[in-house]
Amino acid sequence: MMALPDRLVSDQLLSKAIKAGVVLVLGACILSQIMLQLGGDPRDEPIDVTDQLPESVANDTGLLDARAPFISSGGLFYPEKAVFDIGLVLGGLLFLGLGVEMFVRTQDGLGPIKRSPWRSLFNLAQLGTALVVGTSLVMLTRNPFNISFLAHIMYAMLIFQVGVAWTAALTLSRWSLDRGLLWRGLSINRIRLALVASGFLSFQLMIYLITSGQLYTSAVFEWTLTFSMEATALTLLPLLVAASKGESE
């Protein structure tokens, strides 16, 4: 059976891709939200999705506030929709590549001696969840909630739920490889664990607050969940710096 290469791209290119992906996604989310809140009509008009909902819930939840500070609200109207779409599509494609690259590098790093069935399983889960999240980021832009409400909710839930699973899978698959890796004196593994906990807690609170009707408060935890996922990607940068130093020595 043909062996996998130890990497697909250089450390320098991967570092640039990670930074670009984070800037694209967070930049697009923040900028499109600012444009939404500062824009005029038709943003002041409620969005009616009654005809897209089951009859049992349509009467209660059919009208939505376009200015609610959810990340997805930035993808409703132009010109902010253009910013939102470009950032999430390019960011999603880069996330797909990140998942593949980290799968290859982790498999090589574990090696035939260090590799265990559990580590390999977590690495495979990292790849699978990254592919789901990256694809869902792209598809989210194709299904704004004012046009395809149920499809939009499905892709959003995939991004958040599977995104939390990705942070956990990445952390567990690389635990032994990154055991001694530090960032400003802090263990990278412990930082990732904190981000996994932050993402999981943010998701639970977001869902609870939505079901309780506290939409504006729930949006806060949607943002903290997003920041946790993007920060997890950034925890790979110290690994690349350490590898470059090792090669230069």
Closest of 218, 82, 236 to residue 160, by C-alpha: 218
Residue 198 has pLDDT above 50, yes or no: yes
Give the model confidence (pLDDT) of 141-178 as tens digits: 999 988 998 999 999 999 999 999 999 999 999 998 99
Listed in sequence order, the residues at least 6 apart from 187 whose beta carbon sits closer than 8 Å to its beta carbon are: 181
Query: Quick one: pLDDT at residue 249?
Result: 47
- Asked if 73 and 33 touch (Cβ cutoff 8 Å), the reply is yes
Q: What is the mean pLDDT of the chain?
A: 90
pTM listed for this prediction: 0.90
Instruction: State the Cα angle at 49 between 214 and 58, rounded to 5°.
Output: 70
Confidence of residue 215 (pLDDT cuts 50, 70, 90): confident
The answer for 98, left when phi > 0, alpha when psi is -120 to 50, beta otherwise, is: alpha
**Identity of the amino acid at 239:** L
Q: What is the mean pLDDT of residues 68-75?
A: 92
Confidence of residue 115 (pLDDT cuts 50, 70, 90): low
Query: Quick one: pLDDT at residue 1?
Result: 46
Measure the CA–CA gap between 126 and 120, rounded to whole angstroms.
10
- Asked if 130 and 96 touch (Cβ cutoff 8 Å), the reply is yes
Residue 138 has pLDDT above 90, yes or no: yes
